[in-house]
Amino acid sequence: MTRPDTLSARQVAILRVIGDWIIEHGEAPTVREVGARVGLASTSSVAYQLGRLEARDLVSRTGHQWRSCRLCVAGC
């Protein structure tokens, strides 16, 4: 069992995918693109993990779409 203050391996992978995608494409990936890169077929599973990361101030989004998300280095 992981401690509440640690990230799961999947969360770390999602953060890496977002960062790499932004560098490569200049914008955030879609939920489906994140899922494809981390091996999650369910968009709701990806959205759940993104929500958990957002609650920890590791990512943020403008509006209701994850396509507008950004990584938060020192909190958002």
- 5-33 pLDDT tens trace: 789 999 999 999 999 999 999 988 999 99
For residue 15, tell me if it sits in a domain.
Answer: yes
How much helix, strand and coil, in percent to the nearest 5, is found in the chain?
A: 55, 10, 40
Cα three-residue angle 33-62-40, rounded to 5 degrees: 25
For residue 33, tell me if it sits in a domain.
Answer: yes
CATH of the domain at 42: 1.10.10.10
Number of domains in the chain: 1
Task: Give the pLDDT score at 65.
Answer: 67
Task: Give the pLDDT score at 61.
Answer: 83
For residue 2, tell me if it sits in a domain.
Answer: no
Question: By residue range, what is the domain housing residue 29?
Answer: 9-71
- 29-69 pLDDT tens trace: 999 999 999 999 999 999 999 999 999 999 988 777 666 67
Task: Give the pLDDT score at 73.
Answer: 66
Specify the pTM.
Answer: 0.83
Task: Give the pLDDT score at 5.
Answer: 74
For residue 3, tell me if it sits in a domain.
Answer: no
For residue 1, tell me if it sits in a domain.
Answer: no
Task: Give the pLDDT score at 3.
Answer: 59
